[in-house]
Amino acid sequence: MTALSESLAALAEGIAAAQDLGLDTTDAERTADLVEQRIGFAGNTYVIALAGGTGVGKSSLLNALAESNVSEVRAIRPTTSRPLAWVEENDRQEVEPLLEWVGVEDVVDHQHRNLADVAIIDLPDVDSVNLGHRATVDALLPRIDALYWVVDPEKYDDERLHGYLRQLSAHGDRMVFLFNKADRLGEDDQRLLAEDFARRLSTDGIGRSSIRMLSARDGQGVADLRRDLAGAADRKAAVAAKLATDAATALSEVASKAGIEAETPPTSLVEAKMRARASQEAVTGALAVVDPAGVGRQVRAAVQNQARRQGGSLLVRILALLSSLTGTRRRTADPEGYLMNWRRRGSLGHILNPVRRVVTDALAKLPAGARTPAIAALGMNDLEARLVSAIDQATRQSREAARPPRSFLWGLVGVIQLALGGVLLFAIAWYLTIIFGPGGIEVATVEVPYLGPVPVPLVLVVASLVASFIFGALLSIHAGWIGRRQARLVTARVTAAVESTVSDTAFAPLDRMDEARRRLHAALLQSRG
Ligand SMILES: Nc1nc2c(ncn2[C@@H]2O[C@H](COP(=O)(O)OP(=O)(O)O)[C@@H](O)[C@H]2O)c(=O)[nH]1
Ligand SMILES: [Mg+2]
């Protein structure tokens, strides 16, 4: 890379870093654009390309300039034409990548003393360049120093040529127009055609065109052109040096806005210990509001409820129905709702204050002019809103995990409990039949079966109650176990999510800012070489 392209790269990097710091980089960007527009071929060689329609005399002109037979001149239209480059021996390596990109395979070395550091690419005719060749003229333009359009008395007015030039008019100042075959025109005609051509170019949007009348055949204008090209590489070097200085100046202006100097590497805006403490405080504040342990309690209760809903006894079901009707269950066993409504449980002050303290401290280390933009770059203006939405998102992600599971086992217990309830009801009905049975039946005459000394209905009542109690207890133990496990998981998950969310949202922008300041400093060093 040359000094100029290196300065430009450093400037681009510096601009990007300064934008991360929220700084206004309009001026620096304008300089970068100017430099980029004028940078041309990124090397010391002055590279020009000859473009133009078939038969206008590109090859003849190259030969005339070189004073030797470099490129084949064809009287008859060629069916194929390959691009060719004429390059000074010493520059060949530098130009090689460009030639490869263009697709030039024929390279002729030269040692022309008058054309030091000049390379000329004889492009295939504009028609074929235009059609699908990789190096279309417009893509080539930013990579070379100048484009020389060759026209002749027949083709200078060609509508296809002018259509193409209209698209390229923004690059007008990099184009030179060589009006060839002047030997076929009288002096007056030369002047008239040149004026006519200039008018046409002007309607194409190329107002200040440089048109040279010349003849490859009798040498008119060729010596002038060669003289002009002879100083081109030196002029290019002078321009490049000036542009490199412009780029470096623009970069140090941007850097000084950020308070960055080449001599002193920037230190972290926030001391690590202070930051760790603030982060801890903010996280603790956030956990106090979100209350992962509380969420865990709700999960446990919700799991018990679910187990009861699936596997509860008749009596438990009736109680559950009553409590759901009065809304008691909603409040104590709704982990999702508890999670989602975290904001109602406290203020965000304990999260925001430590962050603000650290940021205030960091801002003090910046130049006065860089503070306001930094506040915006750090996202301090909407810190609260960003924190809320980040924590919202974190809690939403744990929502699924907080939902109580369903269990086949609990369903099975539910069926058994219903059966036991049936037995109980049956036994009670049996007793009632005996006591309030149809009139006239004497108690003694009804035979009640006995199991040992105890009447069967009583056995049924007691046994079904005891069994139901045991199943209920087992259900509750199992649900408690499942619930505790799930609660632990959810608590850990919510805690982790809140921790990373708070530190990311609040402190990651500070890291990015430190990083941007280091990048800016590195760019500054790079541009100084
Ligand atoms: N009269 C005249 N003919 C020229 C001149 N330059 C080139 N020619 C002729 O134009 C034809 C095409 O030339 P060439 O260099 O192959 O054109 P290219 O296709 O643009 O490379 C050839 O017959 C040349 O002799 C010139 O200055 N005057
Ligand atoms: Mg040719």
pLDDT tens-digit series, residues 472-527: 999 999 999 999 999 999 999 999 999 999 988 889 999 999 999 999 999 999 98
CA of 147 to the centre of ligand 2 (A): 16
Q: How confident is the model at residue 131 (pLDDT cuts 50, 70, 90)?
A: very low
CA of 63 to the centre of ligand 2 (A): 10
What are the structure tokens assigned to 84, written together?
Answer: 């060719």
pLDDT, mean of residues 340-357: 92
Neighbours of ion ligand 2 (CB under 5 A): 58-59
pLDDT, mean of residues 370-397: 92
**Which of 74, 50, 54 is CA-nearest to residue 62?**
50
Q: Which residues contact 213 (CB under 8 A, 6 or more apart)?
A: 179, 182, 190, 194, 220, 221
Q: Which pLDDT score is estimated for 79?
A: 45
Q: Are residues 20 and 51 in the same domain?
A: no
Query: What's the burial of 193, exposed, middle or buried (CB within 10 Å: 0-12/13-18/19+)?
Result: buried
Q: Are residues 16 and 114 in the same domain?
A: no
What's the rounded Cα separation, in Å, for the pair 51 and 141?
A: 11
Q: Angle, to 10 degrees, between the axis of helix 222-230 and the axis of helix 232-257? A: 40
Q: Are residues 328 and 198 in the same domain?
A: no
Q: Are residues 420 and 432 in the same domain?
A: yes
Q: Are residues 306 and 335 in the same domain?
A: yes
Q: Are residues 212 and 118 in the same domain?
A: yes
Element housing 109 (H / E): strand 106-110
Q: How confident is the model at residue 135 (pLDDT cuts 50, 70, 90)?
A: low
Q: Is the minimum distance from the CB of 220 to ligand 1 under 6 angstroms?
A: no
Q: Are residues 48 and 139 in the same domain?
A: yes
Pocket test for ligand 1, best of 59, 60, 82, 215 (most atoms within 8 A of CB): 60
Give per-residue pLDDT as tens, 164-187: 899 888 888 889 999 999 999 999
Say if residues 88 and 110 touch (Cβ distance below 8 Å).
Answer: yes
pTM as predicted:
0.67
Percentage of the chain beyond pLDDT 70 is 93
Is the sign of the CA dihedral 180, 184, 190, 194 positive or negative? negative
Q: In angstroms, what CA-CA distances link 223 with 66, 179, 216, 226, 229? A: 11, 15, 10, 5, 10
- What amino acid is encoded at 149 in this protein? W
Nearest CA to ligand 1 atom 19: 55
CA of 327 to the centre of ligand 2 (A): 92
Q: What is the CA radius of gyration of the chain?
A: 44
Q: Is the minimum distance from the CB of 63 to ligand 1 under 6 angstroms?
A: no
**Higher pLDDT among residues 42 and 125, named by residue:** 42
In a domain, 266, yes or no: no
Say if residues 43 and 143 touch (Cβ distance below 8 Å).
Answer: no
Give per-residue pLDDT as tens, 62-114: 999 999 888 878 766 554 467 889 999 999 999 998 888 888 888 999 988 88
Whether the pLDDT of residue 439 is over 90: the answer is no
Q: Helix/strand/coil (H, E, C) string of 495-522?
A: HHHHHHHHHHHHHHHHHHHHHHHHHHHH
What's the rounded Cα separation, in Å, for the pair 109 and 89?
A: 5
Q: Is the minimum distance from the CB of 218 to ligand 1 under 6 angstroms?
A: no
CA of 117 to the centre of ligand 1 (A): 26
User: Which atom of ligand 1 lies nearest, measured to the CA of 74?
Assistant: 16
Residue 152: give the domain boundaries: 43-220
Give CB contacts under 8 A, 24+ apart, made by 232-237: 232/46, 232/48, 232/118, 232/145, 232/146, 233/44, 233/45, 233/46, 233/116, 233/117, 233/118, 236/40, 236/44, 236/46, 236/145, 237/44
Of 192, 220, 248, which closes a domain?
220
- The H-assigned helical ranges of 258-382 are 272-290, 292-311, 314-326, 328-332, 335-340, 349-363, 368-377
Nearest CA to ligand 1 atom 1: 181
Residue 151: strand pairing partners: 179
Q: Which of 3-7, 112-116, 135-139, 482-486 has the highest mean pLDDT?
A: 482-486
Q: Is the minimum distance from the CB of 155 to ligand 1 under 6 angstroms?
A: no
Q: Which pLDDT score is estimated for 438?
A: 64
What are the structure tokens assigned to 151, written together?
Answer: 């026209």
Q: Are residues 116 and 248 in the same domain?
A: no
Whether the pLDDT of residue 142 is over 90: the answer is no
Q: Angle, to 10 degrees, between the axis of helix 232-257 and the axis of helix 26-39? A: 160
Pocket test for ligand 1, best of 50, 65, 73 (most atoms within 8 A of CB): 73
Q: How confident is the model at residue 23 (pLDDT cuts 50, 70, 90)?
A: very high
Q: Which pLDDT score is estimated for 31?
A: 95
Say if residues 160 and 129 touch (Cβ distance below 8 Å).
Answer: no
In a domain, 263, yes or no: no
**Which of 383, 324, 321 is CA-nearest to residue 357?**
383
**Higher pLDDT among residues 42 and 262, named by residue:** 262
Q: Are residues 6 and 70 in the same domain?
A: no
User: Which atom of ligand 1 lies nearest, measured to the CA of 50?
Assistant: 20
Total Cβ atoms within 10 A of residue 346: 15
In a domain, 380, yes or no: yes
Whether the pLDDT of residue 423 is over 70: the answer is yes
The domain that holds 77 is classified in CATH as 3.40.50.300
- Specify the number of domains making up the chain: 3
Q: Are residues 357 and 459 in the same domain?
A: yes
Q: Are residues 287 and 330 in the same domain?
A: yes
CA of 124 to the centre of ligand 2 (A): 7
Nearest CA to ligand 1 atom 17: 57
Q: Are residues 371 and 350 in the same domain?
A: yes
Q: Looking at 117-131, 325-339, 471-485, which range is the least confident one? A: 117-131
In a domain, 267, yes or no: no
Of 220, 249, 280, which closes a domain?
220
Q: Angle, to 10 degrees, between the axis of helix 349-363 and the axis of helix 456-528? A: 10
